[in-house]
Amino acid sequence: MSTYLLSCTCGEQVPVEVGQAGGKVTCRCGTQLDVPALRQLRHLPQVKVAEAPSGRGWGARQGIIATGAMIAAAALTWSLWVWRTDPEHAVFDAAQRMEYVDRQIKTPTGAWDSWIEFYKPMAEQGFPVFHASNVAQVEKNLADRRFLRGMLWTVAAIFAALAVAAKFWPGAEKRGRQGDKETRRG
């Protein structure tokens, strides 16, 4: 914000801001000075005052913290979604199998084909263990999803640690405060 210098009879220059236009200010000597209206105020000598950092603005540290937290949250959310949408293992449904067999043996040709394809080998070798045809594909899919979840958890942990480190890292605050002192002295 701009600050203007209002001259007093004692020779002192009183700093005046735009918001004080049309009002009164007191000099160090105790003299009451009338601050000119805004139109006349702009003709006074102007001094730019460097605003001290209020601590409310966003710096690199806050950006790192926010970015790390957002990436960690996104990775955890994605991991949760992957976990919730995992495919299920194939389960043997006896009722469904019986329905299939009943449909197959309704005709003599179907009964003969079932005997040749399924029952004859079963009579010769014993009962087979049920295996779904896509077990390998489902297992690979589950393994890939477990790996993806692990990677997402790792990414989330790295960015969360980065955000926490940026929050509590002492070096940046000390350097910023020392820089403020040097600026004020100069």
pLDDT for position 125: 73
pTM comes to 0.42
Q: Which residue has the higher pLDDT, 46 or 146?
A: 146
Per residue in 150-175, pLDDT (tens digit) is 999 999 999 999 888 888 887 645 55
Q: How confident is the model at residue 183 (pLDDT cuts 50, 70, 90)?
A: very low
The residues spanned by each domain of the chain are 2-48, 60-185
The token duo for 148 is: 């993806």
Angle subtended by helix axes 60-84 and 135-168, to nearest 10: 160
pLDDT for position 48: 65
**Whole-number Å distance between alpha carbons of 142 and 88:** 9
* Interior angle at CA 45, CA 44 and CA 47, nearest 5: 130
3-state secondary structure 18-82: HHHCCCEEECCCCCEEECCCHHHHCCCCEEECCCCCCCCCCCHHHHHHHHHHHHHHHHHHHHHHH
How does the average pLDDT of the chain come out, rounded? Answer: 79
Q: Report CA-CA distances (Å) from 33 to 17, 24, 81, 168, 184.
A: 14, 6, 69, 49, 28
Q: Do 2 and 10 form a contact (C-beta atoms < 8 A)? A: no
Query: What is the arithmetic mean of pLDDT over 110-114?
Result: 78
pLDDT at 131 over 80: no
Q: Which of 8-12, 47-51, 86-90 has the lowest mean pLDDT?
A: 47-51
